[in-house]
Structure 1
Amino acid sequence: MAKRNQGLIIILTIGVFGILNTEMGIIGLLPAIADHFEVSVSQAGWLVSAFALAVAVSGPILPLVLSGIDRKKIMLLVLGVFVLGNIVSIFASNLSVALIARVIPALLHPVYCSLAFSVAAASVSEEEAPKAVSKVFIGVSAGMVIGVPIANFLASAVSLQIAMIFFAAVNLLAFAATLLFVPALPVKQRLSYGTQLSILKKGLTWISIVAIILLNGAVFGVYSYLAEYLQTVTKLSANTVSAVLFLFGGANIIGNIAAGKLLTNHARKSLFAFPFALGAVYILLFFTGQFTVPMAILTFIWGILAGIGANMNQYLMMSSAPEAPDFANGLFLTAANLGVTIGAAVGGIWIAAMGTPYVVIAGLLSLLFGLVAIARRNALFTTARQHSK
């Protein structure tokens, strides 16, 4: 049983990597796509923003609607749609076709990811659930930060089409592994829509959503401009910037592994410590970001904390509404995407107003408000547990 569960978690990890790789890997291809379709880079950027918007919109809806269907069938459906979308993107004749080929799979993105977290958690004991989820998050991190340079390299070294084939190949691998090695996963106790929607009546759910938006905004409000920071403040070459971004990605995966242990053994302490730890990194970055070695060290630590933070955000939502895991994970994905969008926008405002070095202020303010939200959330969580006894 343990080996079967481990194999299932590995397949889920590959699946979320393929989906996040499709979402984020396109970032490194935008200049090539703009040239291919003879449009501006900003127009090509709709391939990123429209995808994120579709995820945010469908996050609270489709995981709820499809929550009663056999999990294996849903996994195959989502992965199959992503494979088809990738194939259409390879042969797309214009930007509009490419956009449609991304938005349709994007609507199913929250379905697979919320399901992956739920299935991973359910495959082990309640105490071991954070560790299982943290392993799936490795695929999320790899897709977000490693897919970009890989796709960029393939497009530069071979062609844009080969880079797009890479997206399709990963999703096809996950589809084949799911079809061949994952057993049927029927929903043993189907929850009514009303039961799942009832978690929206809880103040604990809403304060957790606010905390996730603020904490994810604190990370991505600064990370979104890391490449620009490294170029304009640290004065690094393009190749060195790529190396530092890889460093962040590797550290992110380490953070995912560490998060499983932290949330299993010291959840509440870790939640309170996170804003202080990341805040300290941002303050040091502000004063030493112009120096290469300190910047590299801080980026590594920052990457670890970002990986831990992603797991903490998912834990915040799931521990608030364990009675409706699929719907709760959908809400988590929507809140996380809103955090990225709002954080990046606020970070951009600070850069426009004061300059690139001051983007860390946006992160620090988001962390401050996030700490307040965590304190309030923990108070509500304690009260809820006392009432349940």
Structure 2
Amino acid sequence: MKKLAYIGCLGVIGIITTEFGIIGILPQVAAHYQITIDKAGVLLSVFALVIALTGPVMTLLTSGVDRKKVMLWSMGLFILSTLGSAMAPPFWLLLVLRMLPAFLQPVYISNAIAAAVAVAPPKQAHRTMSVVMGGISIATVTTVPLSTWLAAHINWQSAFMMQTLVSIIACLSIWLLLPPMPVKEKKSYGDQLKILKRGDFLLTSFINFMMIAAWFSTYSYFADYLGQEKQMSETMISSMMLLFGLTGVAGNWLAGKVIGSHMAAVTLLLLSGTIVIPFALAWCGYEGVPVMGVIALWGLWYAPSILAGAVNMISAAPDALEFANSLSVSTGNLGVSVGTAVSGMVIATHSVAYAPWVGMAFGVVAIVAVLLRTFLRTRTSAPVCVAQ
């Protein structure tokens, strides 16, 4: 039933608009509150950190609740958060408002994916998942750059008002178009927690964490990097975010078609971008086609990484789909938080020019971990010869 996947995708657009829309407006927020860019980056990292620390617990606690209700509660919190943020409250209150919806973000995504996959034919499961997760790419190409444009041409508060509108549309779609989705068979907490004893699943979680940390070391400071290092205007930056998102949509679509049968190869290909992009950014100069080409490649490599992380983790725990989904979201957001924080510290002591190289360091570790997992899986599945 494709309707479930597309409505789930719409909700993901609202969620990602709220979480990552802050990236393009960090310079304006920092100027408004008279703080440095790395301190403003906490607005992104604290959101991700709450998800990382509470996501699996919240998913377990809500695992027996009707999925439609859970998705509505989640979108309601996002509406309250963005509406309050648009009031330009004191910075500490803005931080609190950013934290609130993060408690239910992984709950929404895990339930949306589980609901869509549950009604899809087995061979279409990965493609159905890519439709839901495609909301990330769509937000990257539409509402995230729109946030940057609104901040540049009106004010940063208008970006939050737009985010509120997107979440309201998603909430109404869930309320009006989705049927009740009670959980028919609730798995015990113990059965779901068993996956945490599997070495392969833990290593896959580490790969997801490092991969997302690698990309967000730079992407979290996308606007500041292009402004400081590439000397772009705010209008040009929003255009580059649009280009980044467009190629990300293409990348997500391509990855969704092949990752099911070539998971390790696709994951390594995506991680290779964390090595190529820093060199390409250093080479391409300040303007023109070379810069646009690098940003286009950057989006093509970056966007499917979140889908790849989810597919990797679910494949390692197909018997605990919702919990594995939530752990995918949590470890990924821990990567967002750590990548943003580590890169922020480097930026504070050096400059934003070093951000891509921080990402490369995370990426190299992730590549080594993927190769290790492939070796261990090959050894485990190898036939055992018994002496006669």
* TM-score bracket relative to the smaller structure: 0.7 to 0.9
Q: State the partner residue of 2:280.
A: 284
Give the alignment's TM-score, normalised by structure 1: 0.86
Give the alignment's TM-score, normalised by structure 2: 0.87
Q: Which of the residues 247, 261, 272 maps onto 1:251?
A: 247
Q: For residues 212-268 of structure 1, what are the alpha-carbon distances to aligned partners after superposition, in whole Å with 9 as ceiling and x for unaligned? A: 111112212232344344344434344323322221121112111111112134223
Q: Which stretch of structure 1 is more off in the superposition, 295-304 or 232-241?
A: 232-241
Deviation at 1:56, TM superposition (A): 1.7
Equivalent residues, number = 382
Q: Which stretch of structure 1 is more off in the superposition, 132-141 or 90-99?
A: 90-99
Q: Residue 30 of structure 1 contacts residue 41 of structure 1 at CA under 8 Å; is this kept in 2? A: no
Q: State the partner residue of 2:138.
A: 142
Q: For residues 248-303 of structure 1, what are the alpha-carbon distances to aligned partners after superposition, in whole Å with 9 as ceiling and x for unaligned? A: 12111211111111213422322233333543343333333456322211211111
| Amino acid aligned to 1:324 | A
Q: Distance in 1 between matches of 2:34 and 2:264?
A: 49
Q: State the partner residue of 1:269.
A: 265
- Is 1:58 aligned to 2:58, yes or no? no
What pairs with 1:350-361 in structure 2 (closer than 5 Å)? 356-361=352-357
Q: Distance in 1 between matches of 2:30 and 2:360?
A: 35
- Is 1:154 aligned to 2:127, yes or no? no
Closer/same/farther in 2, CA of residues 44 and 372 from structure 1, 3 Å limit: closer
Q: Which of the residues 123, 129, 132 maps onto 2:119?
A: 123
* 3-state SS of paired residue (2:230): coil
Q: Residue 83 of structure 1 contacts residue 168 of structure 1 at CA under 8 Å; is this kept in 2? A: yes
Closer/same/farther in 2, CA of residues 98 and 379 from structure 1, 3 Å limit: same
Q: Residue 41 of structure 2 contacts residue 340 of structure 2 at CA under 8 Å; is this kept in 1? A: no
Q: Distance in 2 between matches of 1:89 and 1:357?
A: 30
Q: Which of the residues 229, 236, 239 maps onto 1:240?
A: 236
- Is 1:168 aligned to 2:167, yes or no? no
Q: Which of the residues 224, 242, 266 maps onto 2:220?
A: 224
Q: Which stretch of structure 1 is more off in the superposition, 51-60 or 310-319?
A: 51-60
Q: State the partner residue of 2:294.
A: 298
Closer/same/farther in 2, CA of residues 312 and 100 from structure 1, 3 Å limit: same
| Amino acid aligned to 1:7 | K
Q: Residue 23 of structure 2 contacts residue 221 of structure 2 at CA under 8 Å; is this kept in 1? A: no
- Is 1:78 aligned to 2:74, yes or no? yes
Q: Which stretch of structure 1 is more off in the superposition, 216-225 or 82-91?
A: 82-91
Q: State the partner residue of 2:206.
A: 210
Closer/same/farther in 2, CA of residues 102 and 229 from structure 1, 3 Å limit: closer
Q: Residue 282 of structure 1 contacts residue 364 of structure 1 at CA under 8 Å; is this kept in 2? A: yes
- Is 1:319 aligned to 2:315, yes or no? yes
Q: State the partner residue of 2:14.
A: 18
Q: Residue 272 of structure 1 contacts residue 374 of structure 1 at CA under 8 Å; is this kept in 2? A: yes
Q: Distance in 1 between matches of 2:360 and 2:99?
A: 33
Q: State the partner residue of 2:63.
A: 67
Q: Residue 134 of structure 1 contacts residue 257 of structure 1 at CA under 8 Å; is this kept in 2? A: yes
Deviation at 1:347, TM superposition (A): 3.5
| Amino acid aligned to 2:22 | I
Q: Residue 9 of structure 1 contacts residue 135 of structure 1 at CA under 8 Å; is this kept in 2? A: yes
Deviation at 1:93, TM superposition (A): 5.4
Q: Distance in 2 between matches of 1:287 and 1:73?
A: 50
| Amino acid aligned to 2:374 | N
Closer/same/farther in 2, CA of residues 304 and 209 from structure 1, 3 Å limit: same
Closer/same/farther in 2, CA of residues 133 and 185 from structure 1, 3 Å limit: same
